[in-house]
Amino acid sequence: MSRALIEDYDAALFDLDGVIYLGPDPIPAAPPTVAALQERGVKVGFVTNNAARRTDVVAEVLRGMGIRTTANDVVSSAQAITDLASSQLPAGAKVLIVGTEALAEEARSKGLEPVATADDGPVAVIQGYHPQMPWSLLVEAGIAIQHGAAWYGANPDMTRPTDRGLVPGIGAQLAAVATTVDAEPVIAGKPNRPLLDATVARLGCRTPIFVGDRLDTDVLGANRVAMASMMVFSGAHGKHDLLDADPQSRPRFIAKDVSGLLAEPRRAVIDGDRAVCRAGEARVNGGVVEVSGAVGGDLDTQLDSLAAVLALVWAGRGEASHRALEVLDLVH
């Protein structure tokens, strides 16, 4: 009898954008999967690199999508970066907030004093994602940092997945400031530890699994804290990103969406120059890894084949070209 992946873990930590929802719409598998996990007694946490909204607002959005949750179940990079800044700055320190009012509220709650311009004498700049970032704020950030202010960034995501496609993320906004300064921001969000450490501490879990759609933040962050991860194909990254992933950015599991937690995990078995994962198979032919056998017409079977290919490539048995993955035409 098959065993669900989640049975080896006591908590599921979810990224939001591209995992639970895309823009205003929930990913169809998300509400029923979260409900099933909660019925099993699995602890559930929502970990967002997006610093633009308060956690109570995020929780309300999730409830509107049919997901039972409270603000205490949501941990944001806004909380993590203001926690970090307040631990390193004097009480009542002036900070230039380059982000939304939600980020400013978090700073105030940590005993910091938000200011509006570099002329107000901030000792630090705290920058978070803003969906309508005023260019004037980026200018003020650069000037403040040039004058000696410390620089804190909520997270490094270069893009955000939405229902309309990928859009620039805070990484692009950080890069705009970086063109004017000789400094790099201190980052609290994924892939750095503070955000994930805070979530684990809040949930009180021992063996969590992180579910994300990005290798450079979600999966890398989980690997850095020795946490299992499952990458889903409902958001930003896909098969080509996996093929190019360095060892620290490789997930333990892949699934089409969060429902993979309730299914038998994909584990490829290597036998010489052949790897098999459920209905998928790959072989090494002249040093090149290729999908072998009939390619199924459904996404799940194609993901089985992808897992077999990745197992051989990541084990160093051969190389695979991006062209070889084009037979998996249902996998983005």
Q: What are the residue numbers of the active site?
A: 15, 17
Cα separation, 307 vs 38, whole angstroms: 28
Q: Is the peptide bond before 191 cis (omega within 30 degrees of 0)?
A: yes
User: What contacts 24+ positions apart, CB below 8 Å, involve 100-104?
Assistant: 100/51, 100/52, 100/53, 100/128, 100/129, 100/130, 100/131, 102/51, 102/52, 102/53, 102/54, 102/57, 102/78, 103/51, 103/52, 103/78, 103/128, 103/154
DSSP string, 22-64: ETTEE-TTHHHHHHHHHHTT-EEEEEE---SS-HHHHHHHHHH
Collapsed DSSP state (helix, strand, coil) of residue 322: helix
The DSSP element (H or E) to which 154 belongs, if any, is none
Cα separation, 14 vs 185, whole angstroms: 25
Cα separation, 93 vs 95, whole angstroms: 6
Q: Contact, 325 vs 238, CB < 8 A?
A: no
Angle formed at CA 303 by CA 299 and CA 307, multiple of 5 degrees: 175
The torsion angles phi and psi of 31, rounded to 5 degrees, stand at -55, -50
Distances (CA, A) of 69 to 16, 30, 49: 13, 13, 18
The torsion angles phi and psi of 168, rounded to 5 degrees, stand at -60, 140
Nearest to 18 by CA among 263, 219, 225: 219
What residues have CB less than 8 Å from 205, skipping those under 6 apart? 10, 11, 43
